[in-house]
Amino acid sequence: MLTLDDIQSWPKAELHSHLDGAMRLTTMIEMADQQGKRNLLPASSLEGLKIELAKIDHSANLHEYLAWFKYTIGLMQSEEALHRIAFEMAEDFAKENVRYVEVRFGPVLHTQEGLTLEQVLDAVIAGLEQAKSTYGIEYGIIVCALRDRFVEASLEQAHLAVRYAKRGVVAFDLAGAEAGNPAKQHLEAFYYARNHLLGLTVHAGESWGPESIHQALFFCGAHRIGHGITLNQDPELLNFVRDHQIPLEICPTSNVQTQVVSSYEEHPIAELVRSGVAVTINTDSRLFSHTNSSGELFLAHTRCGLTAEETREVVLNGFKHAFLSHKRKMELLEEAKSLISI
């Protein structure tokens, strides 16, 4: 049996982490005070915030879970705030031995008080660059379009992502509630991103059935699937995903919180791994899921049923399936193989 310290010591890659879900609680309070937005928060003290944010564990569905992000997004409307949060997010990952992190967010969500899309991205890049120079952690940025926005909005985000492709952006994503917001409505944005050689990932099969995964793959051309928990409901699609080694970005705690699965013990991750699907394990939201990369891997091992060998496999998958150059992926992968022993 692996210990949490064992996993903490392993080099890791984080492929699915939302910037607006990675704020520290102490930072929330400090920023609310600095910005005169204390009334934005559901509680005024650190302990009160912990109690209030624990309620997210009882979300009825993904829609209720996503509603909690209003508390962070409202504080992320200045360059200073975005720089700080990006730096602290990468710093927290670096301190648990994450060597490479992909940070995703929807830039348009941070333009509510006058910032341009470019100012938003520049501020995040500056924060991540500071963390890279301080801790050596490498990063990639995934620009998220939003399922419930107009097609024109998602195309604008795709154009933004392409403009920053040589400045840290590695992929384009579609996030938000799946119900009533099919991915195929955003084909033009994905065509543009794909035609300009960006990596593609889509949140799918998180709160909707395998048909959502099907759309992500065959309409949007996704290279990876965010979550993909409902994949095992369609054996033929599962075989396709396995045979083509299309990776799933699984986030166990988030999946339990959003009621996609009833418990860690009922999570299909072990079944997917044993079916030969390329699985990665990620945090989704460090803040709202009260977690980190090591903690998610430890839960997958101790409660979701992964063996020590399988846990090592999914850690290595994080490097194999990162949106990095093949050369850099292989360098990080070989280093990780040499350092992860069971």
> Catalytic site residues?
206
Which has the closest alpha carbon to 159: 206, 117, 128? Answer: 117
Q: What's the distance, Cα to Cα, between the start and end of the chain in Å?
A: 9
Given a contact cutoff of 8 angstroms between Cβ atoms, the answer to whether 289 and 257 are in contact is yes
| Distance between CA atoms of residues 68 and 20, nearest Å | 10
Q: Based on the number of CB atoms within 10 Å of its own CB, is 197 exposed (0-12), middle (13-18) or buried (19 or more)?
A: exposed
Work out the angle between the directed axes of helices 235-243 and 210-218 (0-180°, nearest 10).
40
